[in-house]
Amino acid sequence: MKKHLPIVICVGLLSIAPAAYAGGLPQLDHTWFSNQVLWLLVTFVALYAVISWFVAPTIDGVLTNRASEIATAIQDAEEAKRMAETTRTQFESDGQEARIKAAELMAKVQAENAAEAAEASAKLSTDLARKAEQAEARIEDAKHKALGSIHTATVSLTQTMAEKLLGHSVAEQNVEASVSRLLKPTTKAEAA
């Protein structure tokens, strides 16, 4: 029944409406003008009072709060922008200082490394020269020992061969003098 109630009401109003409006539109009937104007004023004043006392202050409060929050947000954003700009400037400054310090440190380390390398090279050269001199001295000593051994062996061999070939013994001084004259050490210029 509840479903059909709006339909029943509409049908009832439509059946009554033609009889009520038989004389024309009631809004244009002069007898009702004063009554319509009165209710228009009452309704206008009532709506004006409700809007001005309840609705407008609420809307005004919302708009004021919104404007205040927007202004606060703008101030916060500007402050954050200033802080970000300050931080960026400080970061760039610190970065530039760090690059300068790094370049100075690199130059210092390179200079230290170059000095250490030069020192190590000089030490190595000195060590190598000393070892070369020692090696030359050992070679010269070995050469003298070898020549002494050869001299002694040559004298002994020559004396033995002369005795066997000649059939008599030869004086050791004569053999040694002959061998010394033949094995006389040559200078480096003569050897070249």
- Interval 135-154: pLDDT, tens: 888 888 888 887 777 778 78
Within-domain flag for 139: no
Q: Is the dihedral of CA 127, 131, 136, 140 positive or negative?
A: positive
What Rg, from alpha-carbon coordinates, does the chain have?
Answer: 66
Domain range for 167 is 144-184
Q: How far is CA 73 from CA 65, 78, 80, 85, in A?
A: 12, 9, 10, 18
Task: Report the number of distinct structural domains present in the chain.
Answer: 1
Q: What is the pTM of this model?
A: 0.38
Dig out the tokens for 23 from the structure: 């004389």
Within-domain flag for 100: no
pLDDT in tens, 120-136: 999 989 988 998 898 88
Strand ranges inside 16-161, DSSP E: none
Within-domain flag for 158: yes
**Largest CA-CA distance found in the chain, in angstroms, rounded:** 189
